[in-house]
């Protein structure tokens, strides 16, 4: 069942952007002016960890099933499941509350949600 949901999600996302012209993707001048200011600010991620050892595919699959977009990152030999990046800590806290509510509804226990700050490196 999970594989079928994953395949449907991938196919649905693959069709996103079909039929859009190249003109619709041109950046606006105002957005270009704010990009350097955002690049110097730290970014925030929401890290999802199981208290017991869980497969990364199980955590990321559950997130996909519940419409949360995640990234799997390998740092210092550890595989981490991250949601984000978010531009502010308040935005990360709001997403943390949404994920925690979904975990409670699904009766998933022993899963920790941490807000992690990543300084921008140039």
Per-residue pLDDT reduced to its tens digit, 73-83: 888 888 888 99
Q: Which residues contact 32 (CB under 8 A, 6 or more apart)?
A: none
Q: How far is Cα 83 from Cα 95, in angstroms, rounded to an integer?
A: 9
- pLDDT reported for residue 75: 84
CATH level 3 topology of 2-10+41-118: Alpha-Beta Plaits (3.30.70)
Per-residue pLDDT reduced to its tens digit, 112-122: 899 998 776 65
CA angle 14, 85, 41 (to 5 degrees): 140
């Amino acid at each position: 069942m999970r594989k079928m949901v994953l395949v449907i999600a991938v196919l649905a996302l693959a069709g996103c952007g079909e039929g859009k012209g190249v003109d619709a993707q041109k950046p606006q001048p105002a957005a270009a002016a704010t990009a350097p200011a955002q690049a110097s600010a730290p970014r925030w991620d929401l890290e999802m960890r199981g208290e017991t050892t869980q497969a990364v595919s199980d955590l990321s699959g559950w997130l996909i099933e519940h419409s949360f977009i995640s990234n799997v990152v390998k740092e210092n030999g550890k595989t981490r499941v991250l949601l984000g990046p978010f531009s502010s800590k308040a935005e990360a806290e709001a997403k943390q509350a949404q994920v925690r509510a979904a975990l409670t509804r699904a009766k998933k226990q022993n899963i920790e949600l941490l807000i992690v700050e990543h300084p921008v490196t140039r």
